[in-house]
């Protein structure tokens, strides 16, 4: 829910022209419906965003959508991001590779000055889910020289060590995000960002719980939101750079394996892992995959079958 003056509400109405509904509830100025979100603005200044796809819609107007009453406190919370965050100079951070059997986890924090937002838009920076790898690589090659960023790559061997020592993937991610953000803060110092936005992967309290033994923790102006790529371009840029680093690393793994390593965690990665084991031996696996995934066992079963 947002509180706006009538002038702002009229601007919103203009924006949603074409998606306006004929019938308005009593006391409202307009009602609009876009793909997965209903917007109702009231004369009182209240604006309601209702539906599953509202984070991005509300983000356009500078605020995260409030949790639905039906959701419990334990679900991932939408940290309250400040009004107008989309137009601020901000650090954004995001990660790639957490669900991929092969390859590392890459986390990038990137700083986007508000003056650079139009340029980045022009260069095609947006939600990486709308971009294919080819596009992502092309954009990343340009923006890597424009914006300050820090890339943290957690290679498979180290990942497996940490995982076997009992560290959760959530904790690994929290540590990587925090470190990447600290690195960027140092790079841009003495300039400070107006906001730091983390693409939310865990509840805020859990995030800081994971960091409790870290020497330095970035906390000032740190906000969390799911689908943060749609809220600030810094997160979209971070996501693109993280994806680029991941894709490059996968290329290196493919060279080492002698064949193309697939992404994801579907049956194609089981096949590829089996092929790798047959070619190079089981002992090379920790350098290529996240061992605790169920895919490891599936690959071993395939190896047994193939060896007959």
DSSP H/E element including 84: none
- Residue 303 Cβ vs Mn ion, minimum distance, rounded to whole Å: 33
- Residue 230 Cβ vs Mn ion, minimum distance, rounded to whole Å: 11
From start to end of the chain, where are the E strands?
Answer: 2-3, 28-34, 37-42, 46-50, 90-96, 105-112, 149-154, 195-199, 222-225
Angle of the 233-257 helix axis to the 133-143 helix axis, nearest 10:
110
Q: How many CB atoms lie within 10 A of CB 47?
A: 22
Q: Which residue is nearest to Mn ion (CB)?
A: 199
Residues of the shown chain interacting with Mn ion in the complex, contacts defined by CB under 5 A? 94, 199
- Residue 227 Cβ vs Mn ion, minimum distance, rounded to whole Å: 9
Nearer to Mn ion, 61 or 224 (CB): 224
Angle of the 267-280 helix axis to the 295-307 helix axis, nearest 10:
60
- Residue 243 Cβ vs Mn ion, minimum distance, rounded to whole Å: 10
Contact indicator for 167, 94 with CB cutoff of 8 Å: no
Nearer to Mn ion, 4 or 232 (CB): 232
Nearer to Mn ion, 30 or 103 (CB): 103
Helix (H, G, I), strand (E, B) or coil at 6: helix
Nearer to Mn ion, 232 or 275 (CB): 232
What's the order of all strands across the beta sheet hosting 28-34?
A: 2-3, 46-50, 37-42, 28-34
Nearer to Mn ion, 176 or 273 (CB): 176
Nearer to Mn ion, 94 or 270 (CB): 94
- Residue 94 Cβ vs Mn ion, minimum distance, rounded to whole Å: 4
- Residue 246 Cβ vs Mn ion, minimum distance, rounded to whole Å: 12
């Amino acid at each position: 829910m947002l509180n706006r003056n009538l002038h702002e509400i009229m601007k919103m109405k203009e924006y949603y022209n074409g998606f306006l509904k004929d019938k308005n509830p009593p006391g409202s100025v307009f009602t609009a419906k876009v793909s997965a979100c209903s917007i109702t603005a009231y004369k009182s200044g209240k604006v309601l965003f209702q539906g599953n796809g509202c984070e991005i819609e509300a983000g356009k107007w500078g605020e995260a959508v409030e949790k639905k009453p039906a959701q419990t406190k334990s679900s991932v919370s939408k940290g309250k991001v400040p009004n107008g965050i989309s137009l601020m100079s901000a650090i954004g951070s995001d990660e790639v590779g957490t669900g991929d059997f092969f390859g590392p986890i890459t986390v990038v924090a990137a700083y986007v000055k508000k003056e650079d937002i139009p340029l980045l838009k022009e260069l095609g920076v947006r939600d990486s889910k709308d971009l294919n790898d080819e596009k992502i690589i092309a954009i990343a090659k340009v923006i890597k020289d424009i914006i300050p960023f820090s890339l943290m790559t957690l290679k498979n061997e180290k990942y497996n060590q940490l995982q076997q020592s009992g560290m959760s993937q959530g904790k690994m991610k929290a540590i990587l995000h925090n470190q990447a953000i600290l690195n960027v803060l140092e790079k841009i110092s003495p300039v400070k960002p107006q906001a730091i936005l983390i693409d939310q992967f865990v509840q805020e309290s859990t995030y800081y719980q994971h960091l409790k033994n870290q020497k330095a923790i970035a906390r000032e102006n740190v906000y969390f939101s799911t689908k943060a790529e749609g809220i600030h371009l810094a997160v979209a840029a971070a996501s693109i750079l993280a994806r680029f680093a991941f894709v490059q690393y996968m290329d290196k793994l493919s060279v080492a394996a002698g064949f193309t390593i697939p992404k994801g965690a579907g049956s194609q990665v089981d096949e590829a892992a089996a092929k790798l084991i047959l070619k190079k031996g089981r002992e090379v696996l920790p350098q290529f995959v996240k061992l605790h995934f169920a895919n490891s066992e599936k690959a071993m079963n395939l190896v047994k079958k193939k060896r007959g």
